[in-house]
């Protein structure tokens, strides 16, 4: 599997009923990392959907990330676990033999993380992170100058807001609603991917 440094469009979704179809469409449009972030459905439903998502992403050679559940990640052979600041420490997850991504919301968190990759945000207020204030573009500029690992700008990013984060120095973005709630997820992913490419991502 290619390193995340070579990836640019990170798509996050829950384990919804049409998950396989959604992932196939998003990947066809250019999503090249997929995270399953499930907060409400029971494990008995989530596990088989993760297993199916693993098959979809493996065929496409797209890294699969499981949010905050190293147990499920190991069961399905996911590539990464993603944790927040209040979840299991990165070092603890690594003891389970897993690669780790971590959410960061402040300069100090970017400096001290030893994760394999980080998310930086939320850039804009977003209902997927209720109660988490937007960090704005200053933190994106800081990450562009100081981050020691691959990083993805996240939070309210869509085709009409992506230019701001790219101008602030982001080369990679993570999105949720911009693809998951689009009437045509493939076209939405393609538009974002093309905008990233036109900004000179290498």
CATH number of residue 45's parent domain: 3.20.20.70
pLDDT at 1 over 70: no
Per-residue model confidence as pLDDT tens digits over 172-196: 999 999 999 999 999 999 999 999 9
Predicted confidence at residue 2, as pLDDT, reads 57
User: Tell me, what DSSP letter sits at residue 4?
Assistant: G
Verify whether residue 37 is a known catalytic residue: yes
Residue carrying the six token digits 């989530």: 46
Verify whether residue 112 is a known catalytic residue: no
- The single residue of 54, 103, 172, 190 carrying the catalytic annotation is 103
Predicted confidence at residue 202, as pLDDT, reads 44
- The single residue of 37, 55, 132, 195 carrying the catalytic annotation is 37
- The residue segments making up the domain with residue 189 are 4-198
b/e burial code for range 86-116 (CB count within 10 A of at least 16 → b): ebbebeebbeeebbbbbbbbeeeebeebebb
| Cα–Cα distance, 107 to 140 (Å, whole number) | 10
Q: Which of 79, 78, 150, 156 is nearest to 118 (CA)?
A: 150
Residues in the chain: 202
Percentage of residues in the chain with pLDDT exceeding 90? 91
- Looking at the 3D structure of the chain, how many domains does it have? 1
Per-residue model confidence as pLDDT tens digits over 2-15: 579 999 999 999 99
- The single residue of 129, 172, 190, 193 carrying the catalytic annotation is 129
Mean pLDDT within 124-141: 85
Q: How far is CA 166 from the centre of its chain?
A: 16
The angle at the Cα of 155, spanning 61 to 133, to the nearest 5 degrees, equals 150
pTM assigned to the model: 0.96
Question: Which distant-in-sequence residues (6+ apart) come within 8 Å of 183 by Cβ?
Answer: none
| Cα–Cα distance, 191 to 202 (Å, whole number) | 17
Mean pLDDT within 85-112: 96
| Cα–Cα distance, 200 to 166 (Å, whole number) | 10
Mean pLDDT within 24-53: 98
């Amino acid at each position: 599997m290619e390193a995340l440094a070579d990836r640019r469009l990170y798509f996050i979704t829950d384990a919804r009923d049409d998950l396989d179809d959604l992932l196939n469409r998003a990947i066809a449009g250019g999503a090249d990392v997929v995270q399953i972030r499930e907060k409400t459905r029971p494990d008995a439903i989530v596990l088989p959907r993760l297993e199916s998502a693993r098959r979809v992403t493996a065929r496409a050679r797209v890294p699969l990330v499981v949010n905050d559940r190293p147990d499920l990640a190991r069961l399905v052979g996911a590539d990464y676990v993603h944790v927040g600041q209040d979840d299991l420490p990165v070092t603890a997850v690594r003891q389970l033999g897993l690669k780790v991504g971590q959410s960061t919301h402040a300069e100090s968190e970017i400096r001290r993380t030893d994760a394999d990759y980080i998310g930086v945000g939320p850039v804009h207020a977003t209902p997927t992170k209720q109660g988490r204030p937007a960090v704005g573009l200053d933190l994106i500029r800081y990450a562009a100058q100081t981050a020691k690992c691959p990083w993805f700008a996240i939070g309210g990013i869509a085709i009409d807001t992506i230019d701001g984060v790219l101008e602030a120095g982001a080369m990679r973005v993570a999105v949720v609603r911009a693809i998951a709630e689009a009437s045509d997820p493939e076209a939405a992913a393609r538009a974002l991917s093309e905008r990233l490419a036109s900004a000179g991502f290498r």
